[in-house]
Structure 1
Amino acid sequence: MTTRHDARHQARQDWTTTPITPGILRGALDLEQTERGVLPHRLPARARLQIPDGQLAMAESQPSGVRLAFRTRATAVELDVVATKRVYTGAPPRPDGVYELLVDGRPTARASAADGDTLTIDMATLSTQFRTGPVETLRFTGLPDAEKDVEIWLPHDETTQLVALRTDAPVHGPRPSGRAVWLHHGSSISHGSNATTPTGTWPALAAALGEAELINLGFGGSALLDPFTARTLRDTPADLISVKIGINVVNADLMRLRAFGPAVHGFLDTIREGHPTAPLLVVSPICCPIHENTPGPAAPDYSAMSEGRLRFKATGDPAETAAGKLTLTVIRDELARIVGERAATDPHLHYLDGLGLYGEADNAELPLPDDLHPDPATHRLIAERFARLAFGDGGPFRTKGG
């Protein structure tokens, strides 16, 4: 008599296991071989060797915008993964990361890994503890029995090792989309903080509206004008480039005005070495009331955490702006000035005021839940406005048919 286990094993003899290689992975710049599988990275190995802190190391390994892409007739797909679950001491539990299945561009199913490795972070001491967890299998069934384009978007905020991809029909590489490649860099807002799905981050939504292929280099807490990030942007093939600068420089209290301007110039100079004529859009910060006129650093609001809520506050002194401390208001003025001056000799350089994506009136209607990051509805609002201003008529990213 055939047991349930034997039946499953017998059925799998007809399945195809496809190696996970760069050929079926979009949005990642490197693929690291690990003991259990492969780990997509959004910074190349050379840049990772220069990362000075664990925050960026964690952020770049979280696969925001990274997706498996292939063609197949398969009606069932299995993906074995090891997800890294983050636990913040004293903060509410985080939801499991979401894997989204798209068929011919349409969202079709979602899944999550309930267990995996666990990284416990104490935000007060910045200490961490790591526990190894199991491999989880995600299953997508009931797909149409016809040749189709399949994408599996990985969780935007959950580091994921890919262990195995199985299908009940052969897999072929994705067809060229013919779309312009949009390379974007920004902070946790671009990374997708507080979005609930990987296709629900504002860059993913804007890319869909603008019919562009996204490479998202939004790094939570780490849009800090690092030279290795600029070199990564320089060396990554792209048709359209945007850099969203400001909020992390303020909430990390990283530099003063004297250093900020030259750092922006150097960052843009490096990008232009590899992309001398590509449309390059500099985007200033969206509205964030705690930092509009108050410098950083930002810090968790521990009184809110004691009530089970995650919130942040600005701890700087507004009077220190006279001595060069940075606020979002100061940064917007400086970015507008720098881009205006450079555009005189760089006609492909453009500026977008972040308040046009999310301003004071929007904050009154859709406040930032933790005082730093937008909620899912605000991600969509930002995406729709960015798509109109950047990809729409008269926009710097206007594409054919856009």
Structure 2
Amino acid sequence: MATDSRPPRFPPHYLEQLIENSPDIVIAVDRSGTIVFYNDGAEKVLGYTAAEILGEKVTKVYPSMAEARRVMAAMRSDEHGGPGKLKNFETTFVDRLGEHIPVAISGSILCDEAGFEIGSIGFAKDLREIRRKDRLATLGEVAVAVCHEINNPLEAIVNQIELLDRFVREVASDERALVEEERIEAVRREVAKIQHAVNRLAELAQGETYQTREYHAGVQMTDLESAEKKRAKTPSPLKGLRVLVVDDDVGVCHSLRDLLREEGCEVIEAHDGIDALRVLDVTPVDIVISDVVMPDLDGYDLYMEVRRRGSTPVILMTGYYYDRDHVIKRSRLQGLQGVLFKKPVDPERLKRLILELTRPENERSAPAA
């Protein structure tokens, strides 16, 4: 059976349909610069309907007359594809809302059968997504380099921490070693957080999907927590507790507030003992976490006042290497169970202590940190 080797014949309007349906911007103008053709792609990108734009001057889609003339001059020169042609010439369009859109135009001057110029047509590609991907690729390369540069000193810090830990155990008294080892462990945890963030950033630089979260009003930031970790999260056993934090150091109050809110606690702050008593007189709380040394009431005085008001558990925090003024000793003699070194605060130990004093049944079933 013979086959027809002739090229297919397309209907006269076939090419016009292809151009009309192109996702790129296609605009044709006559010799006076009046728009005579405007396709669906142009409507989607620029926002004008054909009814709004046909018959308007092409300068309507440019930021200025000078820019429109620059494009036409490039089309007439022989530097951008040859005289009467334009290839991937970058310029800017302005959409219906006034947004400036970077585009690359390819086009040509149109002539009639006699060779007289009758207008021009341009095919413009929206460059925003391409440039966004280029920026992301560049940021990815920068992120990998930054991760490498951060990981090297982090490794040195980890090694020095191990040496410091051995030194403390060898030369410090048992009481001093306890305090210093808590500090060292706190440094280890913070270094581990930095390592996690750096490694997660390196994963994102390789193209892994990510989410964003609000940094502050109107500003988003990349959420470096992995999706697997989020799925594995279980509700905190501290969720729903109302905690009163008492410290004359506002920075300590804020850090404890942020830590406990992450666990789902409601946190009330007081910056001295008198202020704490005012809170307790009007608001029931599940636990009080207080500094030992404060200007009006010290930790012992506040503990005794809390005891007079009921059975609310109290944790006293101290940053001293010894029990100055015997506040903790006197409080323990009166039944105090919770004591914590606060410089720095050990988050896991604090959470375990809160759980032990408020929900002992959960503390027994909670996994060890």
TM-score by length of 1: 0.30
Higher fraction of helix: 2
- Greater C-alpha Rg: 2
Which has the higher relative contact order, 1 or 2, with Cα contacts under 8 A spaced 6 or more apart?
1
TM-score by length of 2: 0.32
